[in-house]
Structure 1
Amino acid sequence: MPLLSTPTRAEIAGVGSALPLRRVDNAELAAQVDTSDEWIVERTGIRSRYIAGDGETTATLATDAARRALDHAGIEASDIDLIVLATATPDQTFPATATKVQTALGIRDCVAFDVAAVCSGFLYALTVADAMIRSGGATTALVIGAETFSRILDWEDRATCVLFGDGAGAMVLRASDDPDRGILATKLHADGRYNDLLYVDGGPSTTQTVGKLRMKGREVFRHAVTNLAAVLGEVLAAAGLTSADVDWVVPHQANARILDATARKLGLSPDKVVVTVDRHANTSAASVPLAFDVAVKDGRIKRGDLVVLEAMGGGFTWGAAAVRY
């Protein structure tokens, strides 16, 4: 496929998502863990999550989401020349899970790699794909967030295991000269000083084990509200917009209280915030594209709407994007 010779804009051509077959509500979880539906809902807003079963992996969920995004865009898999997959739970240490998706889609040759920025991973992947399209390095990209976080949870730690779920979301980006659609601006940040507030206690070069997720929730909450409000302001300023111009905010679905606090800090109506954490829990890098797909498919997000995406995750990493859908 010929590459564009001049910089252009990346527009969202289609979206898709995928969830495991098994849905686990709070009552089922309370039968296995020392918790209750009331405790979980009051502190997080979560009522259910999906847990991957036998044969369901990060790659299979990513592939299903990608196929649905391609169908929604009306684009053939053979047109894809770039796959960027955000995940903290790859199928293997290497090769990249993106290459497994490439093979499953029947794409014989394209650029394919993973991005690891935990819950902010999709924003990082989107920024990379956008930059490659703008530079002429790609014309049609699959950007995917996919996770099987259930496999790195400590199911005896009730403070963390109730928060997460599995899933995948995907976007098809394509080069466009349409001035009324596309990714307007992105902003990314990282601060590794806060590693010990949210991390996995394993890894190939340290423990030679996968490890389990560890989190100091109260401290993470405090940083999340401050950082997300700041980066949303940054990305709007970069796009020459204000919060009054925003039709929808699609945030990382970590905790309903974080979503509410961030909206208040920006003076945004809660009615403009897409919330799916109640049904999906925190799906890490998958949460933003999964929530975006839900809101597109149920008719809330429409063509021409200004949508702001944001997320913060372990690292800390955080970021935002302003998009004219």
Structure 2
Amino acid sequence: MIPVRILGTASFLPGRAVSTSEVAAASVPHKKLADIEAKIGIKTRYWSPPGTRMADVAARALGQAAEAAGISPRELRRIIFVSSTGGDYTNPATASSVIDALGCNGLCDGFDMANACVGFVSAMDIGARSAATGLAPVGIVAVELMSRFITPENPRPYLVLGDGAGAVILGTARPGEGISGVSLGNDGAHGGTAYIEHPGLTRKLELSVFAASNQDMNAIATKAIVDSANAVLAQCGLTIADISWVLPHQPNGPMFREILGALGVDPARSVPVVEDIGSVSAASIPISLDRLMRARKVRPGDRILMVAVGSGLAYGALLYQVAPAA
């Protein structure tokens, strides 16, 4: 076990709520709204105003997570900024701007991480190992402003993608608490299923592309999630029945339900968010984690399985064990 404790969480949805009725009218006006909502399982998503800086969104979410943890942001010793789209800059790290916004200059280090929709799970692994070796508290924040990379002319991403942020503060563990299993992997052979090309390479504005069919994407993603979850369960000598809460990545409503079904998980043991916030890439899991923690449903000894898949193909799972009752 990697000894670490989740001290606090937070989430933030920047901008205004945008209904599926509005995006459908702009992108596919010839289709029935009821059919679209049934196909994507999303009623609203949030789109930030033009010019919104990811560092500002990150600082707000991390500040709220620090408050929930009962610490000052100036106590953080490491900040990991996660985004599938690269942050505010190609260079330098957006984490530097977050550190400045939180008043942490000279007090901690920070860096950016990108691993598509799996970025938060990857960052949890690194953050937990940092805290376990004495570099704590660690702040992790995933920010996705996917509305920057969509247009009505490309309906598939336009109908589902949204903006959001989720943050967590990791600290010193109590006895019997921490990451009891982790499995991460990448398979570049499937790298062309969904992507945003680099404008520095193509010399033009680049937008989100869903290249594979929905059927192919769902099949690849569901298998990767099930395999990742099973790998972690095997490490820990557990079955899915031993898990208290399962927080999967939520690309759309039907796929979220398909993932739960493939894992054999009762929906009551998860936290659905995609219907209300859309598909928010690496921010999906930390937002659902924050809602779980703030609902105060987590009990001593609970096990929380976070499992994700993203373009690349990236995939992974992580099992967090809450400290048992004293």
Question: Which range, TM-score by smaller chain?
Answer: over 0.9
- Alpha-carbon distance between aligned partners in 1 of 2:71 and 2:304, rounded to the nearest angstrom: 23
Question: What is the aligned partner in structure 2 of residue 272 from structure 1?
Answer: 269
Match of 1:195 among 191, 211, 230: 191
Q: Is the 8 A contact 2:292 2:298 kept in 1?
A: yes
Indicate whether 1:214 and 2:212 are aligned.
no
Distance, in Å, in 2 between the alignment partners of 1:145 and 1:197 is: 22
**Relative to structure 1, is the Cα distance of residues 167 and 302 closer, same or farther in structure 2, using a 3 angstrom cutoff?**
farther
Deviations 1:255-299 (A, max 9, x none): 222222222222221221211000011111111101111122233
In the superposition, the TM-score normalised over structure 2's length comes to 0.92
Question: Aligned-pair distance for 1:27?
Answer: 1.2
> 1:129-148 alignment to 2 at 5 Å?
129-136=127-134, 138-148=135-145
Question: How far 1:93 moved relative to its partner?
Answer: 0.9
Question: Alpha-carbon deviation of 1:302?
Answer: 4.2
- Sequence identity percentage: 30
Equivalent pair of 1:202/1:212 in contact (CA under 8 Å):
no
Matches of 1:128 and 1:63, distance apart in 2: 20
Pairing of 1:253-292 with structure 2 (within 5 A) = 253-292=250-289
Aligned partners of 1:302, 1:25: CA distance in 2, in Å? 35
Give the Å deviation of 1:41: 2.1
Q: Which residue of 2 aligns with 1:116?
A: 114
Matches within 5 A, 1:35-74: 35-74=31-70
| Contact in 2 for aligned 1:40/1:47 (Cα 8 Å) | no
1:199 & 1:175 partners in 2: Cα distance?
37
**Which letter maps to 1:130?**
A
Aligned match for 2:14, one of 13, 17, 20: 20
Report the aligned-residue RMSD.
Answer: 1.7
Deviation per CA, 1:182-233: give whole Å up to 9, x if none. 22222111001111111113332x2134511111232211111101011011
Q: Secondary structure at the match of 1:254?
A: coil
More deviation in 178-187 or 96-105? 178-187
Aligned mates of 1:17, 1:115 — CA distance in 2: 18
Deviation at 1:57, TM superposition (A): 2.5
SS across alignment from 1:211: coil
Among 88, 92, 111, which residue is 2:89 paired with?
A: 92
The separation in 2 between residues aligned to 1:301 and 1:62, in whole angstroms, is 25
| Offset from partner CA, 1:23-78 (integer Å, 9 cap, x none) | 00111212211155323321221110000114423222211110110010001111
The CA distance in 1 between the partners of 2:37 and 2:321, in whole Å, is: 33
What CA distance in whole angstroms lies between the structure 2 residues aligned with 1:132 and 1:36?
Answer: 50
Q: What CA distance in whole angstroms lies between the structure 1 residues aligned with 2:253 and 2:304?
A: 19
* Structure 2 CA distance for partners of 1:302 and 1:47, relative to 1, 3 Å: farther
SS at match of 2:260: helix
Which sections of structure 2, spanning at least 5 residues, go unmatched?
none
Deviation at 1:244, TM superposition (A): 1.1
Q: In structure 2, how many angstroms separate the alpha carbons of the residues matched to 1:324 and 1:236?
A: 12
TM-score by length of 1: 0.92
Q: How does 1:176-187 map to 2 (within 5 A)?
A: 176=173, 178-187=174-183
Give the distance between the partners of 1:36 and 1:112, measured in 2 at CA. Answer: 47
**What is the one-letter code of the residue matched to 2:4?**
A
| More displaced 10-residue stretch of structure 1: 40-49 or 139-148 | 40-49
Q: Is the 8 A contact 1:16 1:290 kept in 2?
A: yes
